Amino acid sequence: MSDRFTITLDGRNCPATSGETVLDVAGREGVSIPTLCHDPRLDPAGACRTCLVEVAGERRMQPACAFRVRPGMEVTTGSERIARHRKVLYGLYLADHRLDGSGLPSENGSVNRLREQAARSGALVLPPVNAPRSGRPGDSNPYIRFDPDLCILCARCTRYCDEVEAVSAITLTERGAATTIGTIGDSGLLDTSCELCGGCIDTCPTGAMTEKKSYGIRHEEMEQVRSTCNFCGVGCQVDLKVHNGRVVKVASPPPGETVNDGNLCVKGRFAYDFIHHEERLRYPMIRGRDGELHRASWDEAIRKTTEGLLAVKEKHGADALGFVSSSRCTGEENYLMQKLSRAAFGTNNCHQCAAT
Partner 1 sequence: MDKAGARREEILERLEAEGGVTPESVARIALETGVPEADVWGAGRFYSLIREPGRRVRVCTGLSCRLAGATHRIEELERSGEPREEVSCIGQCDRAPAALDPDLELIPGTGTASSVLPDDPALPVNLGGADPAGYEALAKAQAAGPESVLGIIEASGLQGRGGAGFPAHVKWRAVAGQAERSRYVVCNADEGEPGTFKDREIMERRPHLLLEGLAVAAATIAASEIIIYIRGEFRDAKRSLETALKEAAGHLEPFDIRFANGHGAYICGEETALLESLEGKRGMPRLKPPFPTENGFRGKPTLIHNVETAACVPFIIHHGGERFRDLGRTGAGTKLYCVSGHVNRPGVYELPLGVALDELVETAGGYTGSPMAFSPGGASSGFLPMSLRGLPLDFRSLDREGSMLGSAGVVVLNDTVDLVAAADWQTRFFDDESCGQCAPCRIGARFLRNACGRFRTDGDPDALLHVEDVGWEMEEGSICGLGMVAAKPLTSAMKHFPDAFRRQR
Q: Which residues bind partner 1 (CB under 8 A)?
A: 44, 46-49, 52, 60-61, 63, 66, 81, 84-85, 88-89, 91-93, 95-96, 124, 126-127, 129-131, 152-153, 158, 162-163, 166-179, 182-185, 187, 192-193
In this complex, which beta carbon is closest to partner 1, that of residue 52 or of residue 265? 52
Tell me the chain's radius of gyration from C-alpha atoms: 27
In this complex, which beta carbon is closest to partner 1, that of residue 130 or of residue 356? 130
In this complex, which beta carbon is closest to partner 1, that of residue 110 or of residue 192? 192
Greatest pairwise CA separation for the chain in angstroms: 88
**CB of 173: closest distance to partner 1 in angstroms?**
4
Contact 180, 247 (CB under 8 A): no
**CB of 110: closest distance to partner 1 in angstroms?**
20
Buried b (16+ CB within 10 A) or exposed e, 313-326: beeeebeebebebe
**CB of 64: closest distance to partner 1 in angstroms?**
12
Tell me how long the chain is: 356
Spatial separation of the C-alpha atoms in residues 112 and 114, rounded to whole Å: 5
**CB of 56: closest distance to partner 1 in angstroms?**
15
* CA separation, residue 45 to residues 6, 64, 152, 158, 301 (Å): 25, 11, 13, 12, 58
Spatial separation of the C-alpha atoms in residues 40 and 34, rounded to whole Å: 14
317: left (phi over 0), alpha (psi -120 to 50) or beta: left
Spatial separation of the C-alpha atoms in residues 41 and 199, rounded to whole Å: 12
Buried b (16+ CB within 10 A) or exposed e, 265-285: bebbbbebeeeeeeeeeeebe
Spatial separation of the C-alpha atoms in residues 100 and 193, rounded to whole Å: 35
In this complex, which beta carbon is closest to partner 1, that of residue 171 or of residue 347? 171
In this complex, which beta carbon is closest to partner 1, that of residue 66 or of residue 234? 66
**CB of 190: closest distance to partner 1 in angstroms?**
14
In this complex, which beta carbon is closest to partner 1, that of residue 48 or of residue 222? 48
**CB of 132: closest distance to partner 1 in angstroms?**
9
Contact 165, 194 (CB under 8 A): no
In this complex, which beta carbon is closest to partner 1, that of residue 175 or of residue 277? 175
**CB of 148: closest distance to partner 1 in angstroms?**
13
Structure-derived torsion over alpha carbons of residues 181, 187, 191, 194, reported in degrees to the nearest 10: 0
Contact 64, 77 (CB under 8 A): yes
In this complex, which beta carbon is closest to partner 1, that of residue 147 or of residue 239? 147
**CB of 139: closest distance to partner 1 in angstroms?**
14
**CB of 113: closest distance to partner 1 in angstroms?**
14
In this complex, which beta carbon is closest to partner 1, that of residue 27 or of residue 46? 46
